[in-house]
């Protein structure tokens, strides 16, 4: 049995680092350290398996295999050659090396990538007489290199396909949110599955789906495969235990109703298919409705929505018309509701005509966005005086 305490790094959408730190801590990771775009942590194999299986926020779980100073490409080759790659995987596995850099003084990042790949292959040839081949599209094993001004860090990817690829999304809709960003948005609202949740602009249903999985405590990685299953130190018994522990936490149904709607028939069909595949269709009341024809349920809860925004879907002129209408709809039909609006259009509050009680900066890829909170009271929105119940 492998009792090593590994150092790992979990990247995530920028703005969700604090949530991810909390989440990884709850999953048994230790020595947690936030940086921009991710969280470093330590843990044994069980923590690595659990983070892959249960994290809703992380994009990947990377296992650190080297952190060394460098000055030249040759230093990088020597550092990568010093590692015992054949201890991790066999030459029958395909590989891909990906390098990212910040303030790196070297001329070509592509050349660094090539030198690391050469170092791995040369090590295999020396020790095993054969070397792994490269597969740039669907490698079995991904090696990530990160260079700052002075240090090289090498990581082995334990995840395989990114964690936000839950495996439920098949048809494409316009501008779907990444699943881990949607999960982060739901958690940033403080929603804990005890009040109604409505997404009236649901598109492919990502927000409602992540909410349902959160409410039912369904581990997002159940039913998919991970790169760590191909590692030489893979422990199938430990993996079965970690999966069984996650399954034991699941609730048979959501404790509260979740509502989702969109005016677009194709989006509603895509959402329906996703909900079915994820096994949460009975937890989500899904309809094809135009938001402006919709009256939310009487008992107030929270509205979480991701309207179209200029960069991705609509023109600014469309939004100049949409947002004031949305403002009137909120003020007239959503009194008593707490509303969260995720958008890259920073003019939204002004156009809606409501003062946000909170604004949280978040990144959707490279696009700087905000999650705005509005408390809708009779006659408009009010600044929050007391915090809402937290998860
Ligand atoms: C940015 S997309 C939402 C994407 C969604 N969050 C996802 O992850 O798939 C915005 C959605 O708003 C919907 N929409 C725009 N205007 C609408 C309206 N008046 N009523 C209902 N849906 C509307 C569009 O059809 C589109 O699906």
Kindly report, residue by residue over 195-241, the tens digit of the pLDDT. Answer: 999 999 999 999 999 999 999 999 999 989 999 999 999 999 999 99
Residue 174 alpha carbon, nearest atom of ligand 1: 2
Q: Contact at 8 Å (CB) between 234 and 225?
A: no
Q: Are strands 30-35 and 38-43 parallel, antiparallel or unpaired?
A: antiparallel
pLDDT at site 206: 97
User: 286 CB contacts (<8 Å, ≥6 apart)?
Assistant: 202, 205, 208, 259, 260, 261, 268, 271, 272, 275
What mean pLDDT is predicted for residues 15-38?
97
> Has residue 359 got a pLDDT over 90?
yes
- HEC string for the chain: CCCCCEEEEEECCCCCHHHHHHHHHHCCCEEEEEECCEEEEEECHHHHHHHHHHCCCCCCCEEEEEEEECCCHHHHHHHHHCCCHHHCCCCCCCEEEEEEECCCCCCCHHHHHHHHHHHHHHHHHHHHCCCCCECCCCCCEEEEEEECCCEEEEEEECCCCCCCCCCCCCCCCCCCCCHHHHHHHHHHCCCCCCCCEEECCCCCCHHHHHHHHHHCCCCCCCCCCCHHHHCCCCCHHHHHHHHHHHHHHCCCCCCCCEEEEECCHHHHHHHHHHHHHHCCHHHEEEEECCHHHCCCCCCCCEEEECCCCCCCCCCHHHHHHHHHHHHHHHHHHCCCCEEEEEECCCCHHHHHCCCCCEEEEEEECCEEEEEEEEEEECCEECCCCCCCCCC
Query: Are the CB atoms for 79 and 153 separated by under 8 Å?
Result: no
Q: With beta carbons less than 8 A apart as the criterion, state whether 211 and 197 touch.
A: yes
Candidates 87, 156, 170, 73; CA nearest to 119 is: 73
Q: Nearest 5 degrees, angle CA 299-CA 305-CA 309?
A: 155
Question: Does residue 266's CB lie within 6 angstroms of at least one atom of ligand 1?
Answer: no
Domain 6-157 coded CATH 3.30.2130.30: yes
Res. 178 pLDDT band, cuts 50 70 90: very high
Q: How many CB atoms lie within 10 A of CB 278?
A: 23
Which atom number of ligand 1 is nearest to the Cα of residue 199? 6
Q: Reply yes or no on whether the pLDDT at 335 is more than 70.
A: yes
Burial of 340 (0-12, 13-18, 19+ CB in 10 A): buried
What's the pLDDT score for residue 65? 97
Architecture of domain 179-216+252-381: 3-Layer(aba) Sandwich (3.40)
Say how many Å lie between the CA of residue 380 and the centre of ligand 1: 24
In the chain, ranges of CATH 3.30.2130.30 domains? 6-157
Task: Give yes or no for residue 206 CB within 6 A of ligand 1.
Answer: yes
The CA angle 357-358-362, to the nearest 5 degrees, is 155
Which residues face 171 on adjacent strands? none
Residue 391 clears pLDDT 80, i.e. is over it? no
C-alpha span between 37 and 9 (Å, rounded)? 10
Evaluate if residue 41 carries a pLDDT over 90: yes
- Residue 384: is its pLDDT beyond 60? no
What φ, ψ does residue 339 adopt, rounded to 5°? Answer: -120, 130
The answer to whether 219 and 54 have CB atoms below 8 angstroms apart is yes
CATH 3.40.50.150, the chain: domain bounds: 179-216+252-381
209 CB under 6 A from ligand 1?
A: no
Ligand 1 close to Cβ of residue 175 (< 6 A): yes
Burial (CB count <10 Å: 0-12, 13-18, 19+), residue 56:
buried
What is the number of other CB atoms lying within 10 angstroms of the CB of residue 162? 15
Mean pLDDT of the chain: 94
Decide whether any atom of ligand 1 lies within 6 Å of the 177 Cβ.
yes
Distance 269 CA to ligand 1 centre (A): 13
Binding site membership of 32 for ligand 1 (Cβ less than 6 Å): no
Burial class from Cβ neighbours inside 10 Å (0-12, 13-18, 19+) for residue 138 reads exposed
Q: What is the mean pLDDT of residues 101-119?
A: 96
CA–CA separation, 98 and 119 (whole Å): 14
| Sign for the pseudo-dihedral over CA of 350, 352, 357, 359 | negative
pLDDT category of residue 1 using cuts at 50, 70 and 90? confident
Ligand 1 pocket, 367 CB below 6 A?
A: no
Can you name the residues that pair with 145 across neighbouring β-strands? 99, 154
Task: Report the pLDDT averaged over residues 180-187.
Answer: 98
**Whose structure tokens read 């959160």?**
214
**CA-based nearest residue to 156, from 113, 97, 110, 93:** 97
Q: Ligand 1 within 6 A of 10 CB?
A: no
> In terms of residues, how long is the chain?
391
């Amino acid at each position: 049995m492998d009792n090593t305490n590994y150092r790992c790094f979990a990247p995530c959408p920028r703005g969700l680092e604090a949530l991810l730190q909390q989440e990884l801590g709850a999953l048994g990771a230790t020595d947690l350290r936030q940086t921009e775009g991710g969280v470093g942590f330590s843990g044994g194999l069980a923590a690595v398996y659990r983070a892959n299986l249960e994290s809703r926020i992380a994009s990947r779980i990377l296992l650190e295999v080297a952190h060394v100073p460098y000055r030249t490409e040759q230093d990088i080759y020597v550092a990568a050659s010093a590692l015992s790659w054949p201890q991790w995987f066999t030459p029958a596995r395909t590989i891909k090396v990906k390098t990212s850099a910040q303030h790196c003084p070297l001329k070509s990042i592509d050349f660094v990538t090539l030198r690391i790949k050469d170092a791995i292959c040369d090590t295999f040839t020396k020790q095993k007489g054969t070397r792994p081949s490269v597969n740039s599209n669907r490698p079995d094993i991904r090696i990530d290199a990160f260079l700052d001004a002075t240090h090289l860090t090498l990581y082995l990817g334990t995840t395989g396909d990114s964690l936000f690829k839950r495996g439920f999304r098949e048809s494409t809709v316009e501008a779907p949110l990444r699943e881990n960003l949607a999960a982060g948005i739901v958690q940033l609202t403080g929603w804990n599955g005890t009040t109604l949740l409505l997404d009236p602009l649901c598109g492919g249903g990502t927000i409602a789906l992540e909410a349902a999985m959160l409410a039912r405590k369904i581990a997002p990685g159940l039913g998919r495969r991970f790169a760590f299953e191909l590692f030489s130190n893979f422990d199938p018994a430990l993996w079965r235990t970690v999966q069984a522990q996650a399954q034991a936490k699941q609730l048979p149904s959501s404790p509260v109703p979740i509502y989702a709607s969109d005016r677009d028939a194709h989006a509603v069909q895509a959402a329906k298919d996703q909900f079915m595949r994820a096994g949460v269709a009975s937890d989500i009341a899904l309809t094809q409705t135009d938001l402006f024809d919709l009256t939310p349920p009487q008992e107030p809860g929270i509205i979480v929505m991701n309207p179209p925004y200029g960069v991705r879907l609509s023109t600014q002129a469309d939004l100049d018309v949409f947002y004031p209408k949305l403002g009137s709809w909120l003020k007239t039909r959503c009194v008593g509701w707490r509303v969260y609006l995720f958008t890259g259009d920073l003019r939204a509050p002004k156009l809606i005509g409501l003062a946000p009680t909170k604004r949280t900066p978040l990144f959707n890829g490279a696009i700087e966005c905000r999650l705005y909170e509005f408390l809708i009271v009779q006659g408009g929105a009010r600044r929050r005086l007391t915090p809402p119940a937290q998860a």
